[in-house]
Every structure is written in C-alpha cells, then in structure tokens.
C-alpha cells in the first residue's frame, strides 16, 4: 500500500512542486486548496480537498488516511500571522489520528539556541525581528509548539526562494545558512527525502543551493 501525504500550502511558492515530486517518488497526495483547479494537478494520485487551513473540520478531512504531513503554509510578511494557529490545529489533529511525521518550513531568520550564524546572517535575522516582529514572534511560537508536541517533526529553515530556478545541489547545515537562496524544486525534493529519513527529526536544519 502506498503511503499518503497531506500537504498544506501546496499551491504556494515553496509548495507547488511538492505534489508532483511526491507522486514521482511513489506517494499518494491529499492537498488542501481554497479553490480546487483540477487542471493544476491532472493526476489520479493527487486528491484536492477544498477547505481552509484554519477550519478544524477541513484539517481533519485532509489528514484522514494520511501517514505524514507536509506544511508549507505561507503568508505575506505584513499579514496577521497565522502560522502558530494553523500548526497547533495540525498537531492536535495528527495526535487524534495517530500520525507521527510532520515536516514544515520556516525562515532562515528564525534564531534557535545553539546557532552559529555568521555576522551577516545575524544582522539579517535582527532586521527581520525589527521589521516583521509579529511574524517572528509567531514563528517562534510555532517552533515551541512543535518542540512540545512529541511528534516526529522537522522544521526546515529557508533562505530566499527562487521560483523557477533549475534544480541544483543542496547544501545542509545545522547551525548557519549555507547560502543565500534555494529553488522551489529543491525545497520540494528535500522535504520528500525527509519523509523516511530520521536524520533531522526534532531538528531545524538550514538548506540552500
């Protein structure tokens, strides 16, 4: 039986290559979308679930029958942050359905105890804390929820995302951002690889090209 993955934010910048990448690796996909457009993913292995990530019933419908959750939910920087609210709902629903594996993304500006960021990256993180203080507070709250969840979680820290860049080698680092950008293709590839890779469970790796 194929494993089935639930994807939140699959039509966004980091997520739009996820479903196709997952199917190529032999997974079935259930994706939450506000307005289903079948032409986007004309594949019998991809099921589009119409709904809102803030709605508990929609999250329950999405996650039912799944073995893992990938969350790439994104918002404009100045929007009222919803990251922790949605992640809390996902965690609660995963526990109810006994799903253990969670993979999410966050910004490279998120500081974590033990980081060894370069001076340039420290300045960048400080600027984000000042310019987008509410978003960064909510991102930290999201991390704390995952740390307390007892799920097999991985939260991947990203640099600037390049939409249509071709796939390249991926650099990984536990303590500092190894580059300035990454392609959407490579984010998808890395996330799918983590589904059955325990190396980063309970960790917040940085990745870049």
DSSP sequence for 106-157: EETT---TT----HHHHHHHHHHHHHTHHHHHHHHHHHHHHHTS-SEEEEEE
Which element (helix H / strand E) includes 60?
A: helix 56-63
Task: Quote the pLDDT of residue 16.
Answer: 74
Q: What is the pTM of this model?
A: 0.94
Least confident of 47-51, 74-78, 134-138: 74-78
- Please report where in the chains the tokens 């307390």 appear, as a residue: 148
pLDDT at site 40: 64
- Given this model, what pLDDT does residue 38 score? 57
- Report the C-alpha gap between 166 and 101 in whole angstroms: 28
CA distance 20 to 37: 15
Cα separation of 124 and 147, whole Å?
Answer: 24
Q: Apex CA 55: angle with CA 154 and CA 94, to 5°?
A: 35
Q: Give the tens place of pLDDT for each residue, 74-102.
A: 888 788 999 999 999 999 999 999 999 99
- Percentage of the residues of the chain whose pLDDT score is greater than 90: 80
Instruction: Indicate the pLDDT class of residue 117, thresholds 50, 70 and 90.
Output: very high
Catalogue all structural domains in the chain, each as residue range(s) with its CATH number.
Answer: 4-208 (3.40.50.720)
């Amino acid at each position: 039986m194929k494993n089935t993955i639930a994807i939140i934010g699959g039509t966004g910048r980091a997520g739009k290559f996820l479903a196709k990448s997952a199917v190529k690796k032999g997974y079935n996909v259930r994706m939450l979308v506000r307005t289903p457009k079948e032409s986007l993913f004309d594949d019998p292995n991809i099921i589009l679930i119409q709904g809102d990530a803030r709605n508990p019933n929609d999250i329950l419908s999405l996650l039912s029958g799944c073995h893992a959750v990938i969350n790439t939910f994104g918002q404009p920087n100045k929007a009222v942050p919803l990251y922790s609210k949605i992640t809390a709902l996902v965690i609660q629903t995963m526990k109810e359905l006994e799903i253990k594996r969670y993979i999410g993304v966050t910004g490279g500006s998120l500081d974590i105890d033990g980081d060894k960021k370069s001076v340039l990256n420290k300045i960048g993180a400080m600027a984000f804390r000042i310019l987008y203080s509410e978003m960064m507070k909510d991102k930290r709250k999201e991390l704390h929820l995952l740390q307390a969840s007892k799920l097999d979680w991985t939260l991947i820290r990203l640099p600037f995302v390049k939409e249509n860049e071709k796939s390249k080698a991926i650099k990984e680092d536990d303590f500092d951002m190894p580059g300035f950008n990454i392609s959407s293709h490579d984010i998808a590839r890395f996330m799918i690889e983590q589904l059955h890779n325990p190396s980063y469970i309970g960790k917040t790796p940085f990745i870049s090209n």
